[in-house]
Amino acid sequence: MVKAHEEPEAEFPEPFRSYSENEKHWQARRAFIVRNVPPEGREALSPLRLNQLLSLSMVWSNHIFMGCSYNKDLLNKVTEMAEGIEIEDIPQFTTRDELMKKNQH
């Protein structure tokens, strides 16, 4: 793991980009990470807090771009953390429950 206090300011959070993330997904997740760094700055991020933030950013990104479903409380938390982040052309997904309702009619 790369520790937040080891890379120069201009590079944070670049080392945390996944090799599989396209530019659109990375820019959205990067905005999520930067938006949720404590007011004291990235130096205030303990390794545990940094790992939590990176995990939450992946949950949010997976939900937005791949339609992954998570616990309602977790989704509420990441949605709140992402408030104000605008993404163009967000994919629309149909849930299994929505498909089942459609097929019942």
- pLDDT in single tens digits along all 105 residues of the chain: 333 334 335 588 999 999 999 999 999 999 999 999 988 877 888 999 999 999 999 999 999 999 999 999 999 999 999 999 999 888 877 777 777 887 886
First to last CA, the chain: 51
Q: Which of 19, 84, 38, 31 is nearest to 61 (CA)?
A: 31
Cα 60 to Cα 67: distance, rounded to the nearest angstrom: 10
Pure H helices in the chain: 23-35, 47-66, 72-81, 96-104
* pTM across the whole model: 0.79
